[in-house]
Chains A and B, each alone.
Chain A
Amino acid sequence: MSDPSTPNNQMGGFKSNSAGTPHTTPLQTGPLTALSSISATNSPVSGMHNNLSSNNLQSLDNNNNRFQQPQQYFQPQTPTQQPQQSQMQPSVSNNNLGSLTSQPIPTPQQRLISSSCFEFFYIEMIDYIMKSSSDKTQAHKKLDKLGYKVGHRLVERLSNETPLFPELLDAVKFICKVFWTNIFKKTIDGLKTNHKGVFVLTDSKFQWLQHLSFDATANNKDCSEYVQFAAGLIKGAMSNFGFKCIVSFDIQQVSTCVFTIKIES
C-alpha cells in the first residue's frame, strides 16, 4: 500500500519496506535489564538527565506548545488541520521535494473502531504469542518483530502529509506526538535526550496497562509482554524514517512506561 510519492521513500537511501532493516540484538530490547532507565551516574551517556533545559529539548507537555513552532518541519495530522488542504493538488512529483511542504497528499477518511475492540484483540494476540513461543525471550522477540512491522507501516500512512524530516529530533517528535496520539489518543508525556542519539520517552499512563492488574498478594508482577509490542512499534516507525535504533523499555510504578531509543550510528 505504500504510495511511492510519500516522503519516506526518499529518505536518504533507506527503503521503506518491511524486509529492510534487520532485527537488532533481541536481548537489548528486553524489558528488565540493559538500557533501562539510564541513570545519570552509571550511564555511558553523560549528563542526560540534566539536559532538560537545552534549547528546544524541554519535556513535551500536553498543550503541545512545542509543536506550534517548527511549522516548517511538519504539520501534525490532527483534525484541526488548516483549511489550505482544499487547494492542494493530489499529485506530487518525486523529484520536486520542495513542493511537498505545500502540497500534502489528501489522506483517506479516518475510520474509527471502539478501543475495547482493539484491547480484547490485543490481549488474545499476546496470549497466543506467549503460548506459541518456547520461552519468554522468544515471545518478546516475536512481539518486537510484530510491532516493528506494524509500526513501520503505520507511520507510513500517518506521515503521508508531512514532508521529510531532515533531523532525527523531528522524527522522534513525530513519534511522540502524531504517532502516539493515533495509537493511544495521547502524546508522550516526557521527552529527554542527550543529543547523542539517545532519547527517553515517558508515557505516564500507558494505555495498554490501564486495565491490567494483579492479585494484591502476587510476587511476580511482570507484564512486560504487554509493552514489548509498543517498543517494536517505535522501532519500526523510526526505521521507516531512516533511523535504525534499539528500543528498550522500563515499567515504573503502576502504568508508567519509559521507552529508550538508542540510535545506531
Chain B
Amino acid sequence: MIYSLYILNKAGTLIYQNDYGPTEKLSHNSYIRLGSTFHSLHAIASNLSPVSGSSSGIELIETDTFKLQCFQTHTGIKFYIIADPNHPGLEEILHGIYELYTDYVLKNPFYEIEMQIRCDLFDYKLSRLLKLTTD
C-alpha cells in the first residue's frame, strides 16, 4: 500500500503531492511545510553522517507504521514515497516515477520548470503506476 508521493524541486519546494491510499488529508500549507522539513532533514542528515566522505542523504526511513523511501536525482530533484512498512520494490517504483516525470511533465510544453506540477496526464499515469504496484 502506497500512501503518498512527494516531489521537491532543487530549492526544496514542494512541487507535487498526492495520496494513493487511506491517509489523512492535510491542508496545502501543511504539505508545503512537510516538504521543506524533509528537504532540511535530508541536508542535515548528509552532513551529520559519521562516515567520512560524502553521504547520500536520507534514502530510507523505517518505522513501525510506515516506510519512507527517497530518490534524489543528480539534478537535485527529490522524489519520496510513503508506504506501508513491508512494501517491496520502492526503489524501482521511484525510478518508474522519475521516468513518468521525464515523459509527462518535462515533455509537457505547458509545464514551467521548477514550478508546481499540474498535469492531469501525469496524475493519471502516476495513479495507474502506484495503484498497480499496491495490488
Residues of A within 8 A of B (CB): 116, 119-120, 123, 126-127, 211-218, 223, 226
How many residue pairs link A and B with beta carbons under 8 A? The number is: 39
Contact A213 B109 (CB under 8 A): no
Q: Give which listed residue, A123, A215, A218, contacts B109 with CB less than 8 A.
A: A123
Contact B104 A215 (CB under 8 A): no
Interface range, B side: 10 to 19
Question: Which DSSP category, helix, strand, loop or mixed, fits chain A's interface?
Answer: loop
Chain A neighbourhood of B104, CB < 8 A:
211, 213
CB-CB under 8 A for A127 and B109, given A211-B121, A215-B120: yes
Could you mark each residue 119-134 of chain B with 1 if its beta carbon is under 8 Å from any beta carbon of chain A, else 0?
Answer: 1111100000000000
Interface residues of B in 14-48 (CB under 8 A from A): none
Chain B neighbourhood of A127, CB < 8 A:
109
Interface residues of B in 104-127 (CB under 8 A from A): 104, 107-110, 118-123
Q: Give which listed residue, B107, B109, B120, contacts A216 with CB less than 8 A.
A: B120
Contact B109 A214 (CB under 8 A): no
Chain A neighbourhood of B121, CB < 8 A:
211-213
Chain B neighbourhood of A218, CB < 8 A:
118
Distance between Cα atoms of A211 and B121 in the complex (Å): 7
Contact A216 B103 (CB under 8 A): no
Contact B120 A214 (CB under 8 A): yes
Distance between Cα atoms of A109 and B56 in the complex (Å): 46
Chain A neighbourhood of B123, CB < 8 A:
216
Give min CB distance, A265 to chain B, whole Å: 38
Give min CB distance, A141 to chain B, whole Å: 20
Contact B118 A215 (CB under 8 A): yes
Distance between Cα atoms of A126 and B110 in the complex (Å): 11
Contact B118 A212 (CB under 8 A): no
Give min CB distance, B101 to chain A, whole Å: 11
